[in-house]
């Protein structure tokens, strides 16, 4: 309406705020003049001071006010949080200013944060602004006409929202909304659209400040609640009374509740209808809104809706909100809402006189606790009203309403969505159904197939796996029960272990196998740690003994929730510091156990809900199936179809047979219906039930129950609504028990439910209700409870649990998960992801973060890097400002360093963890390790060197020694690639000191041996010197079961033996590929490069070329120029030796381009290959140029990779000789011979020495020239 300028009063010479009217609308001019009139009557330090107003010669209206420096309250709230004292100071100052206005008969009517100015940013010095819509006592014209401004949604009082006259109590309500926002940082009433906010003002009670912010004084909480009362009479009478209350409130802080328990509220299905005359009714919630109806305009509409039991609220902006309470089922509510829409269309159009009437019908769950919070539904409806009016129908409907209305109403697709057009004429226990055993129908073929496969597994001693998939409710659990029973009948001696994927802890590392081991050993969750260890030991002692038994127990207890201390267990301690080592040990222990179990009798592993399983468990089962090929080991897994998205190619190498459960055959479904309802049920009814069930066994049984209980006519059209309809027939106390049970997932304990309900001291009532639910076939007792002396129960079906969980209010969900997490933690729950999920959902961010950190660590143990990253990131989201961030950040940094994560993704985490964690701690070392790799990737060599030097000078904590060794070794190898060998020597020396005694830290010791061996063979041109540390690494890796390090040892031995001329041994070692190349990090090219070279040495050119080509392709696809460059280098050597000189030239030139930026150490050797090709092409001068460059780089760097320094000297001498420089050639040959014989001299065995001198390709030439 107006624009404010900084101006100078020419008479007084003072700075003023000059407001110019920008609108020529008569109502805008009236409001402008009105504001000047009001300000002229007010003289208070808390109200912006009036100076003058008028109009210039051109008719431009202006208003001069005092100039203010500072910021408005809206800006302050967005910028930083306000303390309780600051918030009260602002509210008190505003109340005092409003009191002066109220005394003079002025009601502001638009109190909001942007109209409260903090002079100089001082919360004790405020000014009220914008009196443009203020009401003056005795003035009515501006407030009763259609289109007059009435206030801002979210801050106006309910009576303003209804278009009623605003009294001082309206300002009190608005000030209460401002104070609420000061304390909580969010509006008391919010929404994306004005109509949604206005409806909240009318239909919902204001939230309590104490629910959103801890530490608010009790008296202040009560004052704000009173200021925000729906009824004006319940509020303070005016601003003067409000100011008095704010001065006098007590500073007593609200005490935490003594015994927190779930409340009695629950969510129910609710349908609402919104009608609006035009676009203005659904404008932004930040805008002031105009009144657009008179007080009596809604009478006809209300009279028409009354027979349908609908409640109507008409807003001041002309919108109508219709709610349907106590309307029965979801289907009934949706039908009534649709009929309301049909009535509203003509009535609303007639009343508004507008053709642009918009109507929306939406359905969803709302909390019922005495008030009617429909805000989320209102937001959805208001969003629909932004679309153009329906073209043919009368209203838009959302998807839920559409599904509930089904075929009873005509609907069509319009431009902006589905339109409502018209109403059609209406036309391991025995499973029980209606209290009787229910037969398993329609699955005989599947049961027989699985049982036959089990027989084959036993008779042929052949490990097999079967995967049964099907959607929820299709009958997987029933098939599982029938199959297990059939196997027990055929093979009574079969050992059957069962495990279950966990819904709450979805994907927690080793959760699936952890549950399997606990079930097999009958471990009670709340048993003491020694008792849990003893239970597992007792179970394992049946098949294992001695050291093997101890190893299996120690490492399987890690995943079974019974960890041992590692003070006197160096291998266990080392494994806990190394994810790959821990994973290898767990895999070794699990496979050993299964092999022992399957030795004497068939072993059957039955896995339920595999779609909620975890990657480490699935990998271990895969490994067991592969290693126990000749054992009677049988796996049956049951899962939803999405299991293939979670685990692509699940156990494909083991030829796993999948059985996809389709819909029940019609004849089988009919047999079940007649078995349950009797032979007298009509053919029509049977057909109706079968068609509605659509072959889903669970739906079929629920429909049978509905018919038996005479509620089939009220069935909702969606399964969830159908199940909820069944649950809502239970009494309130029983529903409360069921809701509390659903917090834990599908499995729960009666004692835990009693605790959630505040009845921990007396579980009698809870147990009674649980037993009643068992009788009603909603719950099932579970035998062999993990909790001693406690009954364990499961929901009869996952959808029953989901329906019960959906009944919880948001407040009860948060409280329930918090209490559940505390209870499970207290009673020995070891699944970190389960505890993390409960604490996160319970609003306990720091506690959740600590458990996510543990879950991430366990995922690393299992080799599931993606899961580890996911868990750590979820933990960080929970640990906004807690000490739990450092371990999570450190873990992500370490993973990022090893996975070559892009710098932009990992650098912020590096900076934060280095700042948070003490120097030398594990998170700090992880961060610095990542910083060094980031510098390497970015080519910032000085930064990389400085970071590595800082790491070298650091004294690590005990748990960080192994990783520091990794970081130093990694850094040394990177420096070697860059040709900075002396700096790498310094890091290697520090690495040796950290490794120290081999007993101190197995991981550090192994990495020292790996680095020493690699640098000897690769950098120092001493492959014989690499043999001893490589063999030491191999022995330690075998002793500790470290699969990755064993692969490194074999790679180093193969490379070294190949360089020494032992081609057969080298080829065997390098072909084994114990670890995939892409898991070897920056060393991913060493094995295939060395293997291709060995194959070329024995002239197996086709095999060598295939190996080199794979390396090139892998390097290119993964963006690894080092790998691609080495692949092209060795391919050039192969082409050269096989006589394809053109291809050799092309490949070596490309190789030099790739290697130039990433490996100075490889460059001299590659140049030597180029010189050899040039010589073969009869281009001696160009060959000499390449050889001279290679010789110069070799001298400057002080080394050359893969023992190619000999080739450099040899081809250099040959080039010199061919170019007539015979003396220089002899000098180069002599140098090559000295180096060659120096290596040979270290070999004590004459036969090895002779083989070395006689069989290596370039060495033969060197000796010949020397002679």
843 vs 813: CA distance, rounded Å: 10
Q: Is 110 a catalytic residue?
A: yes
**Cβ contacts of 346 within 8 Å, gap of 6 or more:** none
Final residue of a structural domain among 404, 423, 442: 423
593 contacts 552 by C-beta, under 8 angstroms: yes
For the chain, how far is it from start to end, CA to CA, in angstroms?
Answer: 103
Q: Quick one: tokens of 782?
A: 């579970």
737 contacts 515 by C-beta, under 8 angstroms: no
In the DSSP assignment, the letter for residue 629 is T
> pLDDT band for position 286 (50/70/90)?
low
The answer on 437 and 376 residing in a single domain is no
The answer on 332 and 198 residing in a single domain is no
pLDDT (average), residues 672-689: 84
Closest CA to 276 of 317, 310, 313: 317
Task: Give percent of the chain with pLDDT exceeding 70.
Answer: 87
Strand (E) or helix (H) holding 461: none
150 vs 133: CA distance, rounded Å: 7
pLDDT (average), residues 1012-1023: 91
User: Above 90 in pLDDT, residue 740?
Assistant: yes
Q: Quick one: tokens of 840?
A: 């996160």
Q: Quick one: tokens of 917?
A: 């964690």
pLDDT at 503: 57
In a domain, 540, yes or no: yes
**Radius of gyration of the chain from its Cα atoms, rounded to whole angstroms:** 39
The answer on 138 and 8 residing in a single domain is no
Beta strands in 34-151 (DSSP E): 50-55, 61-66, 70-72, 106-107, 116-119, 126-128, 135-136, 149-151
Phi, psi (degrees; rounded to nearest 5) at 510: 65, 15
CA angle 860, 866, 869 (to 5 degrees): 75
Place of tokens 């602004």: 129
In a domain, 306, yes or no: yes
pLDDT (average), residues 942-950: 93
Domain CATH for 651 = 3.40.50.300
Q: Quick one: tokens of 452?
A: 């036959």
The answer on 220 and 313 residing in a single domain is no
Choose the most confident range, by mean pLDDT, from 89-93, 538-542, 734-738, 826-830. 89-93
Domain CATH for 204 = 1.10.510.10
- Tally of domains in the chain: 6
The answer on 608 and 489 residing in a single domain is yes
- Of the candidate ranges 97-101, 309-313, 365-369, the one whose mean pLDDT is the lowest: 365-369
Closest CA to 160 of 169, 168, 150: 150
- Of the candidate ranges 474-483, 812-821, 1143-1152, 1173-1182, the one whose mean pLDDT is the lowest: 474-483
In a domain, 138, yes or no: yes
Choose the most confident range, by mean pLDDT, from 208-222, 233-247, 572-586. 233-247
1202 contacts 1163 by C-beta, under 8 angstroms: no
DSSP string, 522-561: T--TTS-HHHHHHHHHHHHTTT--HHHHHHHHHHHHHHTT
Secondary-structure percent of the chain, ordered helix, strand, coil, rounded to 5 = 60, 10, 30
The answer on 628 and 488 residing in a single domain is yes
The answer on 566 and 706 residing in a single domain is no
1077 vs 1085: CA distance, rounded Å: 7
In a domain, 13, yes or no: yes
pLDDT at 295: 46
In a domain, 586, yes or no: yes
pLDDT (average), residues 9-21: 88
pLDDT at 356: 63
758 vs 718: CA distance, rounded Å: 34
- 326: three-class secondary structure by DSSP: coil
Question: Would you tell me the crossing angle of helices 511-521 and 546-559 to the nearest 10 degrees?
Answer: 120
Long-range contacts of 1230-1236, Cβ-Cβ distance < 8 Å, separation of 24 or more = 1230/1266, 1232/1206, 1232/1262, 1233/1262, 1233/1263, 1233/1266, 1235/1021, 1235/1205, 1235/1206, 1235/1209, 1236/1206, 1236/1262, 1236/1263
136 vs 563: CA distance, rounded Å: 76
pLDDT (average), residues 542-548: 84
> pLDDT band for position 146 (50/70/90)?
very low
146 contacts 280 by C-beta, under 8 angstroms: no
In the DSSP assignment, the letter for residue 790 is -
Burial class of residue 782, CB neighbours in 10 A (0-12, 13-18, 19+): middle
- The sign of the CA dihedral 816, 821, 826, 830 is positive
771 contacts 820 by C-beta, under 8 angstroms: no
pLDDT at 882: 64
- Of the candidate ranges 76-80, 121-125, 979-983, the one whose mean pLDDT is the lowest: 76-80
Helices (H) and strands (E) in the chain, counts: 54, 28
Q: Quick one: tokens of 875?
A: 């933990």
pLDDT (average), residues 660-685: 87
In a domain, 349, yes or no: yes
The answer on 677 and 634 residing in a single domain is no
In a domain, 589, yes or no: yes
Which one is catalytic: 72, 110, 313, 812?
Answer: 110
Distances (CA, A) of 1260 to 1098, 1164, 1207, 1255, 1263: 14, 20, 11, 7, 5
Give the range of the structural domain holding residue 1252, as residue numbers without chain letter: 1182-1267
150 contacts 288 by C-beta, under 8 angstroms: yes
- 129: three-class secondary structure by DSSP: coil
- The sign of the CA dihedral 910, 911, 912, 917 is positive
Domain CATH for 306 = 3.30.70.1230
855 vs 15: CA distance, rounded Å: 63
Q: Quick one: tokens of 744?
A: 């834990």
> pLDDT band for position 410 (50/70/90)?
confident
Reported as a single tens digit per residue, the pLDDT across 691-703 is 777 787 777 877 7
pLDDT (average), residues 1001-1025: 89
In the DSSP assignment, the letter for residue 23 is -
The answer on 467 and 413 residing in a single domain is no
The answer on 307 and 217 residing in a single domain is no
Reported as a single tens digit per residue, the pLDDT across 113-127 is 999 999 999 999 999
Strand (E) or helix (H) holding 900: none
Beta strands in 32-100 (DSSP E): 50-55, 61-66, 70-72
The answer on 74 and 62 residing in a single domain is no
The answer on 224 and 243 residing in a single domain is yes
1015 vs 1019: CA distance, rounded Å: 5
Claim: this prediction has a pTM higher than 0.85:
no
Closest CA to 381 of 400, 367, 366, 361: 361
In a domain, 108, yes or no: yes
pLDDT at 259: 59
């Amino acid at each position: 309406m107006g624009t404010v300028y900084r101006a100078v009063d020419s008479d007084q010479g003072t700075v003023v705020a000059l407001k110019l009217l920008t609108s020529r609308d008569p109502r805008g001019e009236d409001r402008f003049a009105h504001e000047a009139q009001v300000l002229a009557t007010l003289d208070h330090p808390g109200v912006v001071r009036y100076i003058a107003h008028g109009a210039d010669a051109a008719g431009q209206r202006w208003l001069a006010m005092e100039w203010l420096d500072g910021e408005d309250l809206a800006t302050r709230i967005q910028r930083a949080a306000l303390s309780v004292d600051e918030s009260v100071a602002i509210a008190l100052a505003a109340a005092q200013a409003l009191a002066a206005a109220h005394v003079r008969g002025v009601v502001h009517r638009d109190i909001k944060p942007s109209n409260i100015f903090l002079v100089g940013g001082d919360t004790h010095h405020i000014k009220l602004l914008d009196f443009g819509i203020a009401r003056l006592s005795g003035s009515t014209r501006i407030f009763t006409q259609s289109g007059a401004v009435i206030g801002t949604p979210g801050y106006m009082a309910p009576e303003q929202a209804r278009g009623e006259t605003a009294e001082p109590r309206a300002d009190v309500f608005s000030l209460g909304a401002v104070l609420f926002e000061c304390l909580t940082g969010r509006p008391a009433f919010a929404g994306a659209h004005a109509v949604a906010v206005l409806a909240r003002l009318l239909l919902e009670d204001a939230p309590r400040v104490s629910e959103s912010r801890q530490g608010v004084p009790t008296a202040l909480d009560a004052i704000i609640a009173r200021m925000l009362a729906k009824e004006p009479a319940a509020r303070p009478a005016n601003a003067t009374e409000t100011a008095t209350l704010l001065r006098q409130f007590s500073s007593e802080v609200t005490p935490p509740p003594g015994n927190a328990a779930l409340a009695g509220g629950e969510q129910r299905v609710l349908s609402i209808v919104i009608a609006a005359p035009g676009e203005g009714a659904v404008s932004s919630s930040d805008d002031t809104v105009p009144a657009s109806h008179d007080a009596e305009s809604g009478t006809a509409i209300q009279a028409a809706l009354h027979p349908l039991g609908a409640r109507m609220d008409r807003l001041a902006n002309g919108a109508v909100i219709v709610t349907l309470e106590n309307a029965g089922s979801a289907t009934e509510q949706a039908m009534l809402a649709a009929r309301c829409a049909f009535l509203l269309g003509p009535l609303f159009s007639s009343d508004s006189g507008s053709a642009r009437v918009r109507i929306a019908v939406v359905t969803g769950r709302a909390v019922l606790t005495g008030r009617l919070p429909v805000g989320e539904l209102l937001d959805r409806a208001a969003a629909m009203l932004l679309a153009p009016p329906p073209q043919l129908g009368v209203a838009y409907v959302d998807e839920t309403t559409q599904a509930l209305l089904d075929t009873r109403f005509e609907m069509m697709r319009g431009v902006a969505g589905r339109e409502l057009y018209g109403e059609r004429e209406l036309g391991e226990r025995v499973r029980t159904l209606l209290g009787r055993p229910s037969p398993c129908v329609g699955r005989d073929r599947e049961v027989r197939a699985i049982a036959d496969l089990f027989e084959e597994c036993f008779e042929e001693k052949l490990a097999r796996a079967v995967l049964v998939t099907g959607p929820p409710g299709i009958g997987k659990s029933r098939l599982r029960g029938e199959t297990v029973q059939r196997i027990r009948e055929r093979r009574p001696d079969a050992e059957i272990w069962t495990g279950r994927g966990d819904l709450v802890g979805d994907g927690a590392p080793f959760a699936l196998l952890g549950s399997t081991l606990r079930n097999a050993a009958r471990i009670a969750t709340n048993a003491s740690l020694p008792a849990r260890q003893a239970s597992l030991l007792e179970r394992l002692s049946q098949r294992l003994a001695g050291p093997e038994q101890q190893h299996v127990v120690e490492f399987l207890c890690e995943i079974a929730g019974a960890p041992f201390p590692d003070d006197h267990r160096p291998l266990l301690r080392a494994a806990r510091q190394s994810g790959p080592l821990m994973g290898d040990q767990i895999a070794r222990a699990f496979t050993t156990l299964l092999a022992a179990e399957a030795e004497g009798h068939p072993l059957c592993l039955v896995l339920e809900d595999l779609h909620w399983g975890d990657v480490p468990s699935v990998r271990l089962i895969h490994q067991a199936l592969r290693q126990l090929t000749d054992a009677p080991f049988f796996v049956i897994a049951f899962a939803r179809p999405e299991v293939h998205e979670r685990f692509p190619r699940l156990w494909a190498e083991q030829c796993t047979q999948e059985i996809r459960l389709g819909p029940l055959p019609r004849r089988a479904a009919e047999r079940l219906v007649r078995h349950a309802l009797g032979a007298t049920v009509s053919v029509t009814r049977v057909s109706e039930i079968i068609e509605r069930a659509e072959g889903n066994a669970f739906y079929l049984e629920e429909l049978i129950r509905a018919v038996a209980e005479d509620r089939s006519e009220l069935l909702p059209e969606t399964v969830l609504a159908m199940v909820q309809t069944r649950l809502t027939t239970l009494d309130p106390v029983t529903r409360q028990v069921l809701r509390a049970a659903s917090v834990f997932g599908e499995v729960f304990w009666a004692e835990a439910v009693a605790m959630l309900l505040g009845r921990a001291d007396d579980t009698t009532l809870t147990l009674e209700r649980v037993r009643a639910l068992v009788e009603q076939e909603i719950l099932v007792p579970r035998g062999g409870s993990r909790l001693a002396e406690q009954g364990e129960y499961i929901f009869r079906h996952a959808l029953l649990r989901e329906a019960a969980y959906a009944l919880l209010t948001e407040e009860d969900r948060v409280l329930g998960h918090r209490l559940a997490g505390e209870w499970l933690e207290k009673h020995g729950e070891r699944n970190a992801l389960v505890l993390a999920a409960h604490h996160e959902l319970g609003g306990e961010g720091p506690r959740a973060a600590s458990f996510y950190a543990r879950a991430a660590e366990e995922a690393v143990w299992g080799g599931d890097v993606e899961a580890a990253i996911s868990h750590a990131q979820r933990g960080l989201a929970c640990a906004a400002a807690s000490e739990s961030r450092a371990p999570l950040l450190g873990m992500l940094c370490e993973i990022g360093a090893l996975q070559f994560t892009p710098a932009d993704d990992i650098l912020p985490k590096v900076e934060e963890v280095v700042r948070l964690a003490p120097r030398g701690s594990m998170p700090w070392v992880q961060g610095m390790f990542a910083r060094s790799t980031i510098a390497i990737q970015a080519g910032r060599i000085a930064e990389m060197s400085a970071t590595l030097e800082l790491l070298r000078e650091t004294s690590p904590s005990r748990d960080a020694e192994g990783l520091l060794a990794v970081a130093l070794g990694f850094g040394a190898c990177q420096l070697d690639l860059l040709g900075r060998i002396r700096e790498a020597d310094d890091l290697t020396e520090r690495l040796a000191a950290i490794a120290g005694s081999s007993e101190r830290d197995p991981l550090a010791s192994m990495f020292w041996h790996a680095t020493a061996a690699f640098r000897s063979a690769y950098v120092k041109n001493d492959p014989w010197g690499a043999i001893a540390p490589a063999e030491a690494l191999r022995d330690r890796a075998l002793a500790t079961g470290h699969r990755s390090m064993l692969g490194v040892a074999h790679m180093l031995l193969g490379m070294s033996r190949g360089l020494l001329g032992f081609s057969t041994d080298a080829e065997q070692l390098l072909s084994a590929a114990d670890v995939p190349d892409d898991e070897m990090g920056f060393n991913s090219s060493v094995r295939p490069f060395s293997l291709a070279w060995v194959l070329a040495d024995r002239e197996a050119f086709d095999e060598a070329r295939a190996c080199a080509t794979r390396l090139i392709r892998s390097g290119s696809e993964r963006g690894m120029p080092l790998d691609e460059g080495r692949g092209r280098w060795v391919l050039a050597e192969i082409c050269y030796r096989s006589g394809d000189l053109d291809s050799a030239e092309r490949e070596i030139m490309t190789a030099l381009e790739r290697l130039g930026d990433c490996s100075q150490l490889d460059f001299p050797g590659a140049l030597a290959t180029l010189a050899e090709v040039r010589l073969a092409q009869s281009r001696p001068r160009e060959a000499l140029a390449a050889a001279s460059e290679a010789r110069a780089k070799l001298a400057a760097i002080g080394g050359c990779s893969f023992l190619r320094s000999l080739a450099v000297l040899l081809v250099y001498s040959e080039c010199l000789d061919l170019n007539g420089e015979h003396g220089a050639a002899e000098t180069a040959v002599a140098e090559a011979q000295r180096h060659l014989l120096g290596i040979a001299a270290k070999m004590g065995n004459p036969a090895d020495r002779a083989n070395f001198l006689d069989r290596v390709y370039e060495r033969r030439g060197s000796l010949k020239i020397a002679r």
